[in-house]
Amino acid sequence: MIKLSPSLLAADFSNLERDIKIVENAGADYLHLDVMDGHFVPNISFGIPVIESIRKISSLVFDTHLMISDPMKYVKPFADAGADIITFHYESDARQKEIIDKIHSVGKKAGISIKPNTPAFVLEPYMDVIDLILIMTVEPGFGGQKFITDTLNSIRYARQLIDRSGREIDLEVDGGIGAENIGIPVSAGADTIVAGSAVFKSADIADSVKKLKRYGV
């Protein structure tokens, strides 16, 4: 069965507790938290105060995606705020192994993400230490974009790396995924799906979660 990680970026920010409770009760596995700094990506979203606040009302795994410059500096603050998985971008810092070690040192799972144009072979040196790989299937920074089909090659390559490693590593994909095309990345090897607009912008949030989860049954 696939894991579903609804992206909070698409939720109603005037009713965050309501929306979070809906996806939690509907069977979501993770809650995807897109943190943007306006520097690494051309948008600003939310940060530590929001995560601290919603941690009090949810027991979901907080799947925290740092689309920021200098992620090393913020590992502990986000861990303290309640993140369970901390994913940083390969492209954001040259100290990838040190950042992974830092995340583990504060007791959290470590994820590494690549943009659509970054070749998946750059992930190979981290297969013995990483807990999650996130393949961006749109350019990071904004929700509601169209799935980039060329990223399927990266998903397939990452799946091969994971299978060869023999380790339990989530292969997550994020961007432009809904009920109409979820089968495409899953068939390529993805097992964890981020969905924002397809969940929170739908007429029935709970039903959308269940439909997306049902694909993996």
The one catalytic residue in 19, 29, 63, 174 is 174
Enter the pTM of the model.
0.95
The answer to whether 29 and 61 are in contact (CB under 8 A) is: yes
Structure tokens at 106: 């504060």
Cα–Cα distance for residue pair 135/143, rounded to 1 Å: 15
Q: What pLDDT sits at residue 216?
A: 52
Check if 34 is active-site.
yes
The one catalytic residue in 19, 29, 34, 63 is 34
Residue with tokens 């023999």: 166
pLDDT per residue as tens, the chain (217 positions): 899 999 999 999 999 999 999 999 999 999 999 999 999 998 999 999 999 999 999 999 999 999 999 999 999 999 999 999 999 999 999 999 999 999 999 999 999 999 999 999 999 999 999 999 999 999 987 767 899 999 999 999 999 999 999 999 999 999 999 999 999 999 999 999 999 999 999 999 999 999 999 875 4
Check if 174 is active-site.
yes
Cα–Cα distance for residue pair 15/111, rounded to 1 Å: 28
